[in-house]
Structure 1
Amino acid sequence: MRLLKVILVLLVVVISITACKKPSDKEKYYDAHKKMMEIKSYQTIAKISSYTGDSKREYEFNQMFQYPDKYRLEVISPNSIKGNLTIFNGKVAWIQHATINQTWKMDNFEQSKEQLMFIGYFLKNFINSENSTYHSESFKGQDSIVVTTELPGGNPHFYSQRLWIDGKDFTPLRLNIIDNQDRVRFEVYYEDFKMNPELSEDLFYLD
């Protein structure tokens, strides 16, 4: 009888330890990876900082993306370029300057820096890269998964991307574009991130 009690106590301890065990970095990474691969579209407010030497410029955009490579980028701030619009439908790009009411159409826009700020292009680079790493890190007091992947082309100014993903709901939090000296060239914070909203095809075309 005493032996049975001891066994029962041990079982309770083991179950309690198992229940309280936190997921490993590897487990969280795979959960985050699965969630990110489910992204077919998204809409978010992207707050972008651009660094050149000692100077810093800040921008705020309404950012939309639709798989595999369509995007829409509208300037919210600064006021001097508010309303400016960049649209890419996978083949053709339109750039509209609101202040002068002019629009340019471009047939070759695939290597633009704007694309690097989108989660969809990070995922594309991540899938095609053989040199991606991940680790856990605290971000603003909460657990996050940090994934780093190389950018194609070997450009020393845009060498790799580093993405912070919420450790609970696996939404993107922050994206850095890094040069080959591990210096941040662009820093993006995502706010009000909406995953897989229904986006009209008309959003990715401009007459």
Structure 2
Amino acid sequence: MNAYVSTELSMIQMLDPQRHELALLQEAFLNKGGTIEVLQGPSFVPPPVRHEPPPKKKMPKPAAAKPEAALPEPTKMTLREIEREERAAIAAKDRAELVERVKKLAETMNYSQAILRTGLSRKVLFSIAKEHGFKFQPADYKGSRGQKRGVIDDANDAKLAERIKAFMEIGLTRSKAMEQTGLTFKPFIRILAKFNIDYPKRRAGPHPAFFPKAPKRQE
């Protein structure tokens, strides 16, 4: 601390000759009639008060409408299920229409007549009638013990013969033709004989190939 004070005093003493010389020059200037004007220092004028407008209140932004949840795109499995249900609905509608048609025919027709009209087999017609609780009309001819056979419908026999010929041309066996026409064995044979239809019987399949055995080598 003492070293700092001594340094300041030595610097002040070094400026004494300059202050003395300046005082002599000032005195000589005044003696010659000069005047020294003491200028007033700058005065501080505070800036005018600035009146700022009150800050604007920020209006809240309107909430953006939430987008509607997008429906999930149907997956492949969903599309398959939809197509399966549509096919099932169409099949059920077609089935119901077929049942109503067969039921309507059963009111006035027997199996043979319904087969000619619909092209369905006797087995299918029987299944539909049994499932939905109705029956076809009895056939025009029906044999039984002690009774004569009824009158044979030649027109119906002719239609059956045409169908049998068509089945023969496409290569159906006799059993398949009887199934499609709804005839049993005896009526089927009767129509073949009546209209001279040479319906081939089931042929035996090809014989297995025979390969002769090679002779054994003698050692």
Give TM-score, length-normalised by structure 2: 0.19
Whichever structure has more helix as a proportion of its residues is 2
Structure number, greater radius of gyration: 2
Give TM-score, length-normalised by structure 1: 0.20
Whichever structure has more strand as a proportion of its residues is 1
For CA contacts below 8 A with separation 6 or more, give which structure has more relative contact order: 1
